[in-house]
């Protein structure tokens, strides 16, 4: 009996195991069916393909150069008695910068004025003698020789007075050199000499340097292939130059001032010079800047460069339509500021995938989410 009871227990346990197995199988089978009936969607970020006016531009590295720069030097041998600016300060045209010792020139000016006054007095006497001899010669009271001598003396003194006046004018010009003023608006460097220093015209180092800060030139080079379009743009007045200091968002805009009259035969580049207002003094002379030369603008379809994928057959993008990703071949004309300008493949207003392409293939179901602002 005991043996028969054990057999019954074993049969019941086996039946329970089979039932549990079938129940678990039904659970897993149901999950598999659910997965098959609801295919997984790939989450992707999308952006709009936009048809808009886009610039045809050329990027290059440029250098900021001042339009006017002057090295201040002394034109006489004397001593500095006054420095009237702070190092690196902004100066305006006519501002007093240096005062030089003028005592020696002042003495020479007074001497020249005295000589001029003496010779003028002598000329007045010679003219009186000439008038007197002219009256006497008519009465026969003097000789022609005396009249001629009086006229000669008067002419000599007239020439002497002209020479005296010229010497005096020269000294006054020399006196003007003792006051040095700013010839134009700009920024001045540190003063190389201070009060008490002796300066000469032969000195090689300038007293200070003034650079014009607004406007300024930006000089850069572009390929010779751009030259024809650039000349047409300059004629139409549409050429534009944008200069940006690396690491800064602020930029300065200007126009093309000139194009060099020769192309560098070794590099095939031509030098272009743009002029910038630079009212904020964002561009400092000697700074390297990133420049964009905008030749013209044209309508084209633009997509973020992150949307463009590359394969052996060429460039393509994933276009999302009806909840599915579709491979769309495109032709990229150029890239500019993180965007790709397309020459063909899209008409505009399509949703293109910009993130999540690795999990996509033609026909993959997708779940779209808008691209984050500023991405």
Range 102-111 burial, b when 16+ CB lie within 10 A, else e: beebeebbee
Does the pLDDT value for residue 25 go beyond 60?
no
Residue 26 has pLDDT above 70, yes or no: no
Does residue 24 carry a pLDDT above 70?
A: no
Is the pLDDT at 266 greater than 90? The verdict is yes
Could you report the per-residue pLDDT of 294-341, keeping only the tens digit for each? 998 888 999 999 999 998 889 999 999 988 999 999 999 888 778 899
User: Could you tell me which residues come within 8 angstroms of residue 372 by beta carbon, excluding any fewer than 6 positions away?
Assistant: 45
**Domains of the chain, first to last:** 42-53+300-370 (2.40.420.20), 58-67+212-298 (2.40.30.170), 74-99+178-211 (2.40.50.100), 102-177 (1.10.287)
pLDDT value of position 373: 56
Percent of the chain with pLDDT over 70: 88
State pLDDT tens for residues 131-141: 999 989 888 88
Q: Phi-psi region for residue 225, left (φ > 0), alpha (ψ -120 to 50) or beta?
A: alpha
For the stretch 145-171, pLDDT in tens is 999 999 999 999 999 999 999 999 999
Residue 12 in this model has a pLDDT that exceeds 60: no
Q: Specify the higher pLDDT residue, 109 or 138.
A: 109
Identify the band that residue 202 occupies on the pLDDT scale cut at 50, 70 and 90. very high
Q: What is the pLDDT of residues 92-105, one digit of tens each?
A: 999 999 999 999 99
Give the model confidence (pLDDT) of 214-249 as tens digits. 999 999 999 999 999 999 999 988 899 999 999 887
Task: Give the per-residue pLDDT at 296.
Answer: 85
pLDDT reading at 34 higher than 60:
no
């Amino acid at each position: 009996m005991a043996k028969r009871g054990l057999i019954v227990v074993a049969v019941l346990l086996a039946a329970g195991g089979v039932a549990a197995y079938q129940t678990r199988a039904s659970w897993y089978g149901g999950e598999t069916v659910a997965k098959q009936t609801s295919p997984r969607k790939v989450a992707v970020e999308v952006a709009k393909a936009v048809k808009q006016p886009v610039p045809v531009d050329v990027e290059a590295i440029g250098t900021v150069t001042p339009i006017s720069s002057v090295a201040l030097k002394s034109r006489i041998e004397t001593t500095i008695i006054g420095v009237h600016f702070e190092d690196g300060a902004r100066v305006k045209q006519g501002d007093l910068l240096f005062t030089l010792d003028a005592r020696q020139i002042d003495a020479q000016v007074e001497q020249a004025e005295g000589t001029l006054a003496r010779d003028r007095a002598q000329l007045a006497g010679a003219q009186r003698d000439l008038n007197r001899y002219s009256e006497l010669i008519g009465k026969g009271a003097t000789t022609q020789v005396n009249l001629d001598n009086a006229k000669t003396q008067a002419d000599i003194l007239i020439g002497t007075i002209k020479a005296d006046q010229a010497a005096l004018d020269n000294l006054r010009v020399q006196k003007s050199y003792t006051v040095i003023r700013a010839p134009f608006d700009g920024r001045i460097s540190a003063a190389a000499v201070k009060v008490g220093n002796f300066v000469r015209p032969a000195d090689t180092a300038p007293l200070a340097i003034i650079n014009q800060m607004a406007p300024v030139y930006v000089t850069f080079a572009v390929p010779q292939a751009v030259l024809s379009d650039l000349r047409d743009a300059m004629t139409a007045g549409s050429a534009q130059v944008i200069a940006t200091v690396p690491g800064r968002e602020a930029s300065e805009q200007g126009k093309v001032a000139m194009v060099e009259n020769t192309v560098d035969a070794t590099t095939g580049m031509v030098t272009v010079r743009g002029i910038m207002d630079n009212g904020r003094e964002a561009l400092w002379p000697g700074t390297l800047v990133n420049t964009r030369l905008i030749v013209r603008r044209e309508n084209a379809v633009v997509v973020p460069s992150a949307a463009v994928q590359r394969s052996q057959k060429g460039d393509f993008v994933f276009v999302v339509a009806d909840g599915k990703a579709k491979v769309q071949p495109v032709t990229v004309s150029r890239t500019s500021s993180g965007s790709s300008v397309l020459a063909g493949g899209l008409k505009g207003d399509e949703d293109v995938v910009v993130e999540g392409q690795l999990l996509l293939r033609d026909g993959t179901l997708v779940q779209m989410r808008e691209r984050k602002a500023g991405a």
